[in-house]
Amino acid sequence: MPTENELFSAVDALLEQVSHDDLPPPAERRRLREAAGLTQAQIATALETRRETVANWELGKTEPRPPQRAAYARLLEKLAERFPSTAPEPDMPQAFAGQPTAPEAQPSPTGQIREPAAAPTPQEPPSGSSVIPAPATVQRPPVPAARPSSTSRRPGTKKAAAASNPARGTDPRFENGPLAVVDVEDGQVLAYCPGGLILDVPAKSLPALVDWTLREAKLGQPKLSGPGKDADPLLVLTEAALERYGLPVALTDEERLAGRIPEGHKVIKQLTRADWKLTKRGFGPWARIYRPAQGSERACVQLCIPSWHALDSRHWGHAAQLPPAELARLLGMYASRVMTPRGSTAVTGLELMTALHPPTRASEPDADGRRHSEHNPGSLGKDPVDCAPCEAPDGHPLLKDLPRFHVRGPGEKLFEEAYDWARPLTDAECTKRFLVGIDVNMAFAAGANGAAVGLGAPTHVTAPVFDPKLPGSWLVDLSHVDLSRVKAGKEWVELDGELLPSPFTPTGDRPEGPAWYATPTVAYAVELGYEVRPIEAYVRYDNGRYLDSWYNRLRDAYVATMADLGVPADLSPQEFLEAMDGYKERDPELAIVVAAVKATVKGGIGKLRERPRGEGWKPGEPWRALSRPTWRPDIRAAVISRTRVNMHRKIVKHAAFTGQYPVAILSDCAVYAADGPSPMDFLPYRDGKPLPGGWRLGVSPGMVKHEGTQTVLWGEGVREQFQAPQLNLARYIKTGEVTNEDDGE
């Protein structure tokens, strides 16, 4: 006869076999965890498994196995009792406490799959949790003889997915979101959309795929501005999809150098036969396939090919290696908060400017009731304008008459760049233990905020009276500005000028004579209490705050995503430092979105002065970027000038109040010597309030975060090793790793 323990063991084994019914659907597992304020890492630690394993349980990619399964089920059951979801209908059976069962899609008598009935909208997660929804479990119904071209493959309805994911559109034309990741699974082509929706793709060729996208996929994004245009749908092709549609999985070295596949490729011939066209950049990592617009109707689809290095790992991290559903979630979040990617983050940053300020708009009706295209006030217009000679980079057509090897000095060339400055430590600083780096959040975005920039062509004037509200470039001598005695607000303060970088040059060196400066730099000299007398200037009377809406959208995207990562804007300084510790590990995909938003800012500003990119260019000849209205080196100079001036203003405020000076500055990072390893050890907070006008810890653009800490002994050792007393330690403060390749960059 079996013993009682043996019988109990047999019963437990049976319970394990049917325990699948005791677990809620993956989306509910995530909801319960977030409702309780738990992280995946906390659950993984309690169950003695990996965080990635818990993430896969919540995505529905894997199911928990014994012995963790029973403990996981108990955890979810108790959480469901504390955090019940929306109450189900009285006659609806429950699969788990607090979670209604979502009906599966069922085949109709004709063999086609019907859209499942509506499921209740899930409760929103608490503030500070990730808002990228996990895709719902894909439950596959029996495969019918023939499938419709667009089928939802997940339980629940499109309405429920849209409510839980901002990347899903409310515009019925784009109800499936701005983009889809196209993959092949078990011989079937699938399109993964943001929010967990999966569409069956019937297209057998790339031309058919483009046609299906425009006719049936309901992908795209509404315009960001009234006179603008809707964003074209974006298809991201995986390696399996590339093979299915006859495209190479990877580019050859020659193709990568050219940035495209050859014009004679068979897929390009297929597109040509189907009357589809490619833009001038050809079929590359970010290809655009279109037909000429008919009236206001556009027919254009953009392709993104990660295996062709479309998603630069410097900005997109490991996004190219993500599974299709997760990649769709990540790109969908970026699209909903910034815009549908149009290329690299730099290209997207520039396109965002145009999308928010379209060059033209429809006029008022004329006598015949017709509207015409006219200039949109506040935009850069549709035609490029020439820059001033001093704003032109080397090799520009305006400089073709200069001698071939002529090197322009500061009296001939506007040189507004970010800081790269360092100095030796003083004896007092050598007695401190640490070097602490602080980094300005979204520094160049903050520099763009409120900047008055030129909208039209420059006007040359001689001996002008300086006007701080007039954007332009000014030839003026600022060598008389003495940093040992400056105005801080309304009062004059005495400083150690030898320990301060000059605000007028990126190297921090004091200017030696007349030089060209952007308006913010000259205005700062006046703010410091010194008179300026420009010799000449190129000013722009047509001007405005062109970048304000661009800044606002990118700021909101950054702040909202950081809040989703557990770093909201209302934290105290100490809470902020604690929240920033390891924030990227809380949701690696959201961390990629943050990195991409930051790269969009820097890249967009850099694109305003894009240089030649090969193509047989020779100095003195125009290059492709010059034909864009957004090729505006003066706007780039103004933003960088304001960014550098903003940093110097905070440095002066801090030095006047504390007597502390930075030892190194690199772009948006400043390094100070301190007695402790935290920014709180040298930032003058009183009762939780920062120094007015000084450094302030926080997540918003213009505020600072902890960049890194090293010891003073490390810093002196590095400088001694490289025999460089002024080696810029801000370059290495984050990790402490120094290589020969980094030296002098």
Percent of all residues in the chain with a pLDDT value above 90, rounded to a whole number: 68
How far apart, in whole angstroms, are the C-alpha atoms of residue 144 and residue 147? Answer: 6
DSSP 123: P
The verdict on 409 and 319 lying in the same domain is no
Residue 116 located in a structural domain: no
* Averaged pLDDT, 171-176: 90
Rounded CA-CA distance 478/47 in Å is: 65
In a domain, 171, yes or no: yes
* Residues making up the chain, counted from first to last: 745
Are 292 and 353 within one domain? no
The tokens describing 704, both together, are 């600072």
Tell me what the pLDDT averaged over the chain comes to: 86
Residue 83 has pLDDT above 60, yes or no: yes
- Cα of first residue to Cα of last residue in the chain, in angstroms, is 81
Which residues, in sequence order, are CB contacts of 611 under 8 Å at separation 6+? 393, 395, 623, 625
User: Are residues 191 and 280 located together in one domain of the fold?
Assistant: yes
Asked if 258 and 350 sit in the same domain, the reply is no
**CB under 8 Å to 396, separation ≥6 — which residues?**
387, 626
- The 8-class DSSP code of residue 148 comes to -
Residue 388 lies in a domain: yes
Residues 246 and 348 in one domain: no
SS3 445: helix
- 403 CB contacts (<8 Å, ≥6 apart)? none
Give the percent of the chain with pLDDT over 70.
84
What per-residue confidence (pLDDT) applies to 100? 36
Distance in angstroms (rounded) separating the CA atoms of residues 506 and 637? 12
In a domain, 741, yes or no: no
pLDDT of residue 1: 61
Cα separation, 511 vs 483, in Å, equals 12
389: three-class secondary structure by DSSP: helix
Using one digit for the tens of pLDDT, what is the confidence trace for 525-542?
Answer: 999 999 999 999 999 999
Whether residue 131 is predicted with pLDDT greater than 50 in this model: the reply is no
Give the model's pLDDT for residue 7.
63
User: Are 518 and 533 within one domain?
Assistant: yes
335 and 453 together in one domain: no
Give me the pLDDT at residue 23, please: 87
Q: What whole-number distance in Å separates Cα of residue 177 and Cα of residue 132?
A: 14
**In terms of pTM, does the model score above 0.85?**
no
Residue 154 domain boundaries: 21-104+125-139+147-341
Residue type, 411: G
pLDDT digits (tens, 9 = 90+) for 101-118: 333 443 333 333 334 333
**Residues 507-520: what's their mean pLDDT?**
97
Phi, psi dihedrals of residue 537, rounded to the nearest 5°: -160, 155
The angle, 0 to 180 degrees and rounded to 10, between the axes of the packed helices 345-356 and 548-564 is 120
Q: What is the mean pLDDT of residues 289-305?
A: 87
Per the domain annotation, does 110 fall within a domain?
A: no
Mind giving me the DSSP string for 501-570?
A: --TTSTT-PPP-SEEEEEHHHHHHHHHTT-----SEEEE-SSEE-TTHHHHHHHHHHHHHHHHHTT--TT
Same structural domain, 337 and 350 = no
**Weakest mean pLDDT among 74-83, 215-224, 266-275:** 74-83
The answer, yes or no, to whether the previous bond of 67 is cis (omega within 30 of 0) is yes
The answer to whether 524 and 491 are in contact (CB under 8 A) is: no
Q: Is residue 388 within 8 Å of 638, Cβ to Cβ? A: no
DSSP state of 710: E
The answer to whether the beta carbons of residues 641 and 417 sit under 8 Å apart is no
Which of 651, 678, 697 terminates a domain? The answer is 651
Cα-based distances in Å from 324 to 181, 198, 201, 518: 6, 10, 15, 46
What was the pLDDT predicted at 614?
76
Task: Give the Cα separation of 532 and 288 in Å (integer).
Answer: 50
Please tell me the least confidently modeled range out of 91-95, 549-553, 720-724: 91-95
What pLDDT does residue 204 have? 95
pLDDT score of 363:
86
Domain count, the chain: 2
Spatial distance between the Cα atoms of 680 and 683, rounded to a whole number of angstroms: 5
Q: Pull the structure tokens for residue 545.
A: 């705050």
pLDDT confidence band for 495 (50 / 70 / 90): very high
Q: 171 and 227 share a domain?
A: yes
In a domain, 688, yes or no: no
Q: Which DSSP string corresponds to 246-261?
A: T--SS--HHHHHHTS-
Q: Lowest-pLDDT range, 69-78, 84-93, 205-214, 641-650? A: 84-93
My answer on whether 350 and 264 are in the same domain is no
Assess if residue 45 is contained within a domain. yes
- Three-class secondary structure of residue 49 per DSSP: coil
Query: Would residue 194 count as lying in a domain?
Result: yes
Instruction: State the pLDDT confidence band at 40, using cuts at 50, 70 and 90.
Output: confident
What does the pLDDT read at residue 195? 87
- Asked whether residue 311 carries a pLDDT value surpassing 90, the answer given is yes
